[in-house]
Structure formats: C-alpha cells, structure tokens
Amino acid sequence: METRSGDELDAVESRYYVRDNFPLECGKVLAELRIAYETYGTLAADRRNVVLLTHGFTSHHHMAGRYREGSAPPGLEADTTGTWSRLVGPGLAIDTNRWFVVSSNTLGSSWGSTGPRDVDRRTAQRYGPNFPRLTLNDMVHAQRCLLDALGVDHLVAVIGPSYGGYLAFQWAVQYPGSMRGVAPVFSAPRAPDARAATEKLLAELAADPRWNDGWYYEGAGPESTLLAHRTRLLKRYGIDALLTATIPEPAARQVAIEESARRWARVFDANSMVTLRRALEGFDVEPLFHRITAKVFYVLSRTDEVFPPHLAQSVMAKLAESAVDATYFEVDSAAGHLASAHDADRWAPALAKFLGRLDV
C-alpha cells in the first residue's frame, strides 16, 4: 500500500444537503434539516463504492485534504488539514482511488448542520436551549436522507471515531443490510453514564454568569467555561503525553493546550454540546446486535482513558453470541484517545485489510 498523504486532496468543498420538515424521534419536526458534508474520490457508475465517515463528539466532518477557497464552514480555516488526512486519500487505507468517501457532519453539531444556534423558521428566533431533543436514530436517519439525495442506497462501510463510532454501531442496527461493514473506532455500543455526564455539563454551564439559561447569543457566551471544559477533555484524550516530545516544559505545554482549547471554545456552541450529550442518554445497541448483518471491525487504543481496551472482551463476546462476523484490533500507541489520527500508521494496514474484505 502506498503511503502518500491525504493532503494531496485539494479543492475540498463543504457542501450542504437541505430538506424541509424532518421528523424527529421525540415527535417534533425540524422545519428545515441541513447537513454539511464533504466528498473525496469518484462515485462509481453503479454508486456502490461509497464509504461513509462520521466524526467525533466536538470534532467536524473535515477529515481529508484542504478546502477550496471560500468553502470552509464557519469556524474552520481554509488551510485546515483534515483530521484523518493520513488515513483518507489516494493510496491510503481509505483509498480515494477506489472508494467514494462521504464525510457527514452530525445533526445538532456546530460545524454547518442544523443545530441550536440556527434560526427556527417557524418563530424567526434561534432555537437555543429549545432545540428539539435528538437521538442517534435521528442523526443516522439524517445521514440516510443525505445518501438518498446522492443516489446512494448501499454502502461499503460506515467508519467513525469516538462519537462517530457510536453512530457506526447505530447504523449497523438501524439499517442492517445497507452496508457491508462498520468500523467503530475508539468507541462503544453503549453510553452507560450519559445522563450523569449531561447533568455535570449543565451544572458547569449554569455556574457561568454568561450562560443565561442558554440564551447567550447576543453576548460573549460561556466561553471561559467551554475553555476549561475543553482543556480538561484534551488532557483526558491524551494530548499532554502527545505534546511532551515537542514541548518538554510543562508550563509551555499547558499554554499550547489552552490555546488549542481557546480556538475551539470561540466557535463551538455550548448548546450543541448539551444537545449531543443528551442524545446519548439511553444509547445502548448491544441488545440489538442480532440485527447486525455487516462485518464489524472494532478498534480501541491501548492507552485510551475514554474507551479503555478492556471494553473489547465484553463487546466482542456479545457480537460473537449474535453470530456477527467481528474482528478486533488494538492500536499500540501512547497517544490515548487521539491515536486514531496521531498514530494512523499503526492501524492503517489493518483498516485497509478490513476494507479489502468488503467486495463491492
């Protein structure tokens, strides 16, 4: 396998799928659904060479290449390198010479898809904290509608890290038979502590005088709380260990981490964090494993504190009980939750091998 960089993809565009009256599982209807997405590679004549990528909790759908001028979504710079640029591209594990890759932003996120800071056409006011409650079912349904609009009814695979891995598992049980494989990366098929995580996040935001019960769009908003939250999250993800080699001095490393967190806190909507957190409450597809017909490639990192490798034993056993064709791979990396991108080379061959099994 060649090891050319996915950065060779140039002139990437963030595009938008839009439809009216999108029904949600909670019983409400979004007057307008908008899903931001990017594509890499060439769609085959039979439209059966498609790989769907889903992204992490507070991340975005820009996973390969660089943007065409003027195409970057709000909050991302035009020269931003895709988060999986060492995995997605010509000759890479997700080979854009072979696969047509659709990278979809998540409904409710802050990177171009419909979310809390958007204006509700029915009221001419921002949704804010009144944004309808979402589920992962809704998010996957929105991605299914996007693919339908592209004329794609069958996928080679759904692949995603972290929150995107939740969505990959959800795809496998919600639309069984619609894909040949799924690859949940540094993730799990259930989120047992999601309600407590939501309550903790809301308590942190409520303590910020700029939170204003979620109605902060005319002011600065709870940026300081987001900064602190993001800094802690990056450290839990393993960024401190990752930066040690290039920034050995702890104080300088802290400055670098906080600057990265500050850039994110300036653009990510706090209400989106709440929306995405709430969507995980009750998420558990393990009882639905019997629905899965796709092959599963389950990937964890040896040093991940968010999804530790001991999860694999139970998940793989339950997949086996349901007669699912599943393979497990553990990335030997010190980069924790960030290893899927930082140490891409350590698991790219296994990913390429998995995709090679999914004949189209």
Give the tens place of pLDDT for each residue, 319-354.
999 999 999 999 999 999 999 999 999 999 999 999
pLDDT digits (tens, 9 = 90+) for 24-65: 999 999 999 999 999 999 999 999 999 999 999 999 999 999
* Amino acid, res. 190: R
* Amino acid, res. 136: L
Nearest CA to 135 out of 161, 107, 115, 110 is that of: 107
Q: Could you tell me the pLDDT band of residue 241, with boundaries at 50, 70 and 90?
A: confident
Q: Could you tell me the pLDDT band of residue 15, with boundaries at 50, 70 and 90?
A: very high
CB 99 within 8 Å of CB 355 = yes
Q: What is the pLDDT at residue 72?
A: 84
pLDDT digits (tens, 9 = 90+) for 100-121: 999 999 999 999 999 999 999 9
Residue 195 scores a pLDDT above 60: yes
Name all domains of the chain by residue range, CATH numbers in brackets: 6-191+282-356 (3.40.50.1820), 194-278 (1.10.1740)
Q: What is the pLDDT at residue 71?
A: 83
Instruction: Give me the chain's average pLDDT, please.
Output: 94
The residues with which 76 forms a beta bridge, in sequence order, are none
Q: What percent of the chain has pLDDT over 70?
A: 98
Q: What is the pLDDT at residue 8?
A: 56
Work out the number of other CB atoms within 10 angstroms of the CB of residue 283.
18
pLDDT digits (tens, 9 = 90+) for 58-100: 999 999 999 988 888 888 887 788 999 999 999 999 999 999 9
Q: What is the pLDDT at residue 28?
A: 97
Q: What is the pLDDT at residue 345?
A: 97
Of the listed ranges 74-83, 169-178, 308-317, 328-337, the least confidently predicted one is 74-83
CB 300 within 8 Å of CB 269 = no
Work out the number of other CB atoms within 10 angstroms of the CB of residue 14.
22
Dig out the tokens for 98 from the structure: 């072979």
Work out the number of other CB atoms within 10 angstroms of the CB of residue 149.
12
Nearest CA to 355 out of 44, 97, 39 is that of: 97
Q: What is the pLDDT at residue 22?
A: 98
Q: What is the pLDDT at residue 360?
A: 59
pLDDT digits (tens, 9 = 90+) for 248-270: 999 999 999 999 999 999 999 99
